[in-house]
């Protein structure tokens, strides 16, 4: 007998994945295709919107074929996507008017400097710092530097959107221009209290309301597929930012749930009881929205975690820098007093010190390259602990465990050290496609497969638990050493103050 499946697209910075999920809530098939980053001579970071779409078509095609061969059928589609990357297109022709501006791109720095007097108001309304990360500055840059955009805006034919909106536009053949609240909350234009585009901020960035997508819940209708053979008429029932989707895919939905995604950089997200008070060390965001229920969260982003291990490997001239540096780190059981603060581009949450620079401290005559590599691995855990502690202070509560996902979590030594330095268990997800899984579960809710969050929380999950084994005095001694190393990395700022 044929069975229904949910198809989830996870469009990320370096690849696009697709996942087929059955009624058990578990994946039955996956496909992946790489996508490229474009680095211009001006230092801009971009992606080709057509390639993003083509990669989605390719992985979806593999899923359609698998479903047909296995005698199954696709009932609905969900989308997880990279977040602040900004796309602009012609609403009448559907054609993009330039490359997508990556979330990593800093081209809007001058716009941010001009708007600095309004930074406090932007943070208060949107929960985000005024920084080059937010999509609003990228779209303002497009309006100021792309003549086609300015002309389309004047005629009301310009559409802006994050990657989810772009994919929805292409999937529905232009019939739907929409985004969900989680992606909208990363643009710097959403009023978190009113849950709507803020007219004052749109005007501040020079953006017309007609250019912006309609706001919808993360679980609900985003139109029907009309552009891929084999998906005709299939409803799109979920859209959500990838970090938020990963949070959802962990299957824990109570306030105080915290997850960390370990990658090139790392991000932590903590579910809150409501919209938290403004904090200058963490971002406030929307985790997801379902029907009339909006789940708020705190978020902290760290610039260099996995990339710090990569840097050590490059510094040591390894052929495969990240892998060989991690293997070198595993040859010693601890860093023996060496601390590496990877502040090569400054420090992110919770320090937010752009002037800080990388330091290596505690070196002695007997230390080796293995201790440096181990210090880079331990720096990941220390930085996550910094944000974890800031979140606890902001919420006024202790968090019982940390949920972990992302590529670097495959390093079991890192996961054990993370548990030790937090003094809390770390629960590692064994699902490598947890963002796509989260999107599929949201689509399943809208489809009626599951009755609500309580039922989703009972679905089978593959996790491995790392329990702290370090004595409290040892943990405190190591963490104090880390904080002293961070202070040294920030000495330049203090000297200039």
Q: Which positions ≥6 away from 110 have C-beta within 8 Å?
A: none
pLDDT digits (tens, 9 = 90+) for 81-99: 999 999 999 999 999 999 9
Q: How confident is the model at residue 392 (pLDDT cuts 50, 70, 90)?
A: very high
Q: How confident is the model at residue 492 (pLDDT cuts 50, 70, 90)?
A: low
β-strands 196-197, 190-191 pairing: antiparallel
C-beta separation of 80 from 65 below 8 A: no
- Closest C-alpha among 134, 105, 118, 130 to residue 44: 105
pLDDT digits (tens, 9 = 90+) for 217-238: 999 999 999 999 999 999 999 9
Q: How confident is the model at residue 307 (pLDDT cuts 50, 70, 90)?
A: confident
- State both tokens at 427: 């629960």
Which residues share a beta bridge with 296? 286
Q: How confident is the model at residue 496 (pLDDT cuts 50, 70, 90)?
A: very low
Predicted confidence at residue 106, as pLDDT, reads: 86
pLDDT digits (tens, 9 = 90+) for 137-180: 999 999 999 989 989 998 899 999 999 999 999 999 999 999 99
Measured distance CA(495)–CA(483) in Å, rounded? 18
- The number of beta carbons lying within 10 Å of the beta carbon of residue 432 is 17
Q: How confident is the model at residue 292 (pLDDT cuts 50, 70, 90)?
A: confident
Backbone phi, psi, residue 108, to 5°: -90, 15
Among residues of the chain, what percentage have pLDDT more than 90? 82
Measured distance CA(383)–CA(262) in Å, rounded? 11
* SS3 assignment, position 403: strand
User: How long is the chain?
Assistant: 497
Does residue 194 surpass a pLDDT of 60? yes
Q: For 187-197, what is the mean pLDDT? A: 97
Q: How confident is the model at residue 1 (pLDDT cuts 50, 70, 90)?
A: very low
Measured distance CA(44)–CA(342) in Å, rounded? 23
C-beta separation of 143 from 207 below 8 A: yes
Q: Which positions ≥6 away from 113 have C-beta within 8 Å?
A: none
Measured distance CA(220)–CA(180) in Å, rounded? 9
71: left (phi over 0), alpha (psi -120 to 50) or beta: left
- Closest C-alpha among 217, 208, 214 to residue 140: 208
C-beta separation of 366 from 345 below 8 A: no
* SS3 assignment, position 164: helix
C-beta separation of 414 from 381 below 8 A: yes
C-beta separation of 181 from 119 below 8 A: no
Give the domains, in start order, of the chain with CATH numbers.
84-216 (3.30.420.40), 240-497 (3.30.420.40)
Q: For 368-373, what is the mean pLDDT? A: 96
Helices within 78-220 (DSSP H only): 109-114, 119-126, 135-145, 147-154, 163-171, 181-184, 199-204
- State both tokens at 368: 């080796």
Predicted confidence at residue 348, as pLDDT, reads: 85
User: How far is the CA of 56 from the CAs of 70, 77, 303, 373, in angstroms?
Assistant: 21, 12, 27, 37
Q: Is 372 exposed, middle or buried (0-12, 13-18, 19+ CB in 10 A)?
A: buried
Radius of gyration of the chain (CA): 22
User: How far is the CA of 132 from the CAs of 84, 104, 115, in angstroms?
Assistant: 10, 8, 12
Measured distance CA(401)–CA(259) in Å, rounded? 9
């Amino acid at each position: 007998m044929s069975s229904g499946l949910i198809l989830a697209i996870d469009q990320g910075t370096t690849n696009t994945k697709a996942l087929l999920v059955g009624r058990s809530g578990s994946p039955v098939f996956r496909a992946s295709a790489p996508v490229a980053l474009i680095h211009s001579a001006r230092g801009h970071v971009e992606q080709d919107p057509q390639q993003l779409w083509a990669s989605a078509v390719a992985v979806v095609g593999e899923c359609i074929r698998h479903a047909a061969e296995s005698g199954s059928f696709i009932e609905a589609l969900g989308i997880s996507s990279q977040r602040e990357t900004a796309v602009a297109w012609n609403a009448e022709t559907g054609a993009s008017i330039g490359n997508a501006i990556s979330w990593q791109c800093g081209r809007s720095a001058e716009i941010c400097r001009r708007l600095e007097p309004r930074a406090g108001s932007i943070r208060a309304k949107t929960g985000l710092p005024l920084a080059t990360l937010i999509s609003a500055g990228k779209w303002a840059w497009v309006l100021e530097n792309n003549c086609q955009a300015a002309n389309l805006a004047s005629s009301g034919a310009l559409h802006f959107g994050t990657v989810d909106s772009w994919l929805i536009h292409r999937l529905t053949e232009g019939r739907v221009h929409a985004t969900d609240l989680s992606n909208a909350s990363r643009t710097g234009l959403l009023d978190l209290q009113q849950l709507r585009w803020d007219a004052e901020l749109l005007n501040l960035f020079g953006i017309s309301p007609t250019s912006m997508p309609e706001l919808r819940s993360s679980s609900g209708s985003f139109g029907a597929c009309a552009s891929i053979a084999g998906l005709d008429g299939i409803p799109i029932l979920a859209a959500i930012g990838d970090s938020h989707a990963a949070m959802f895919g962990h299957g824990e939905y109570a306030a105080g749930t915290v997850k960390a995604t370990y990658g090139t950089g790392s991000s932590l997200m903590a579910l809150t009881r409501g919209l938290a008070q403004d904090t200058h060390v963490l971002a406030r965001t929307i985790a997801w929205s379902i029907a009339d229920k909006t789940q708020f969260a705190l978020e902290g982003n760290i610039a260099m975690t996995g990339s710090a291990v990569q840097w050590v490997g490059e510094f040591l001239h390894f052929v495969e820098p990240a892998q060989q540096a991690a293997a070198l780190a595993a040859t010693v059981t601890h860093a023996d007093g060496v601390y590496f603060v990877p502040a090569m581009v400054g420090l992110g949450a919770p320090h937010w010190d752009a002037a800080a620079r990388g330091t290596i401290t505690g070196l002695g005559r007997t230390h080796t390259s293995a201790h440096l590599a181990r210090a880079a691995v331990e720096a990941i855990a220390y930085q996550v602990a910094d944000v974890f502690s800031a979140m606890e202070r902001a919420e006024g509560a202790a968090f019982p465990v940390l949920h972990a996902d992302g590529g670097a979590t495959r390093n079991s030594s890192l996961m054990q050290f993370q548990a030790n330095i937090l003094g809390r268990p770390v629960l590692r997800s064994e699902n490598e496609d947890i963002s796509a899984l989260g999107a599929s579960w949201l689509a399943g809710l809208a489809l009626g497969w599951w009755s609500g969050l309580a039922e989703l929380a009972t679905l089978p999950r593959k996790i491995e638990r790392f329990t702290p084994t370090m004595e409290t005095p040892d943990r405190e001694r190591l963490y104090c050493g880390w904080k002293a190393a961070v202070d040294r990395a920030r000495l330049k700022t203090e000297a200039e103050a």
